[in-house]
Amino acid sequence: MLATLLVAALTASSASAMAISPRASITEFTTSPVVFNFPPGREGFNASTASKAPCGNMTMGARANYPLTGGQISLSQTTAIDNLNIVYTNDKDPARFHAFSSFGAATVQDIGSGGYCTAGPDFAALGMAAGDVATLMVFYQLDGAETYYYHCADVQLVAESSFTKPSYTCANATDVQIAASNDTLSMSGWSSGMAPTATASSGSHASSSAAAAAASSSSTSTSRADRVVAGAGAVLAAVGAAMLF
């Protein structure tokens, strides 16, 4: 009986992933598997709540200065990661996933342990000014797993001319795989208090309507939407999953 179950499990796993490899479990980590080098991330990590949107249930601490324009986001990942996205909000204390919007950052489909460093939002182009506050959120899956995990960094914007860049590493792991732009997460947020009616910013392909469908259907769902989905759908399912918070 046990042997039958094992064979079934192995068959299922090899069919879905095309390879059997040891996978990391969130409970193996005592710090976030993906951390911010810059801007600095929220303190703390709890494997039991890391899958809680929007910030893994960690409270906001001090805000770091961050340039209004020209900023970078530098991450370090201690294990292989799938479907990593970075989004932002101008909400002063975001409590829901849908306070956040995409700013054009590519979706990282696959990356090994090491670094990931990319351009941050052009906050001026997003209508913000020096003195405004923002929160960046990274969400991702452990390699080959379904659950999304969330981590945040809180910033206060300063003019690029008065920003002193601290020392941090900015490098990409060599095996980084970036999603095609038409497979990259796109979502527009709304201010807290408004009705949750997600729209994707580009309406011309299947992913956009999938995002809207995931978001609207999950608002009446009562269970966590940890679904098995592939490609862009994996990213968009997170929109549905995180609606519950």
Ligand X SMILES: *[C@@H]1O[C@H](CO)[C@@H](O)[C@H](O)[C@H]1NC(C)=O
Question: Toward ligand X, which CB reaches closer, 57 or 216?
Answer: 57
Question: Toward ligand X, which CB reaches closer, 90 or 135?
Answer: 135
Residues 149-188 that bind ligand X (CB under 6 A): 170-172, 176, 178, 180, 182
- The CA distance from 56 to 47, in Å, is 9
User: Given candidates 14, 16, 31, 48, which one binds ligand X under the rule CB under 6 A?
Assistant: 48
**Smallest gap from residue 91 Cβ to ligand X (A):** 13
Q: Is residue 245 within 8 Å of 53, Cβ to Cβ?
A: yes
Q: Give the contacts of 158 (CB within 8 A, at least 6 positions apart).
A: 65, 66, 67, 68, 130, 131
- The CA distance from 59 to 234, in Å, is 27
Question: Toward ligand X, which CB reaches closer, 64 or 117?
Answer: 117
Binding segment (CB under 6 A) for ligand X, from list 26-34, 123-131, 200-208, 214-222: 200-208
Q: What are phi and psi for residue 239, nearest 5 degrees?
A: -60, -45
Name beta bridge partners: 199: 188
One-letter identity of residue 210: A
**Smallest gap from residue 10 Cβ to ligand X (A):** 32
Binding segment (CB under 6 A) for ligand X, from list 18-26, 43-51, 155-163, 235-243: 43-51
Q: CA of 105: how far to CAs of 46, 77, 101, 189, 195, in Å?
A: 26, 17, 11, 15, 25
Site string for ligand X, 1-40 (x = CB under 6 A): ----------------------------------------
User: Given candidates 13, 78, 118, 209, which one binds ligand X under the rule CB under 6 A?
Assistant: 118
- The CA distance from 220 to 217, in Å, is 6
Question: Toward ligand X, which CB reaches closer, 10 or 180?
Answer: 180
The answer to whether residue 206 forms part of the interface with ligand X (CB under 6 A) is yes
What's the full length of the chain, in residues? Answer: 245
- Sites of contact with ligand X (CB under 6 A): 46, 48-49, 57, 59, 106, 117-118, 170-172, 176, 178, 180, 182, 205-207
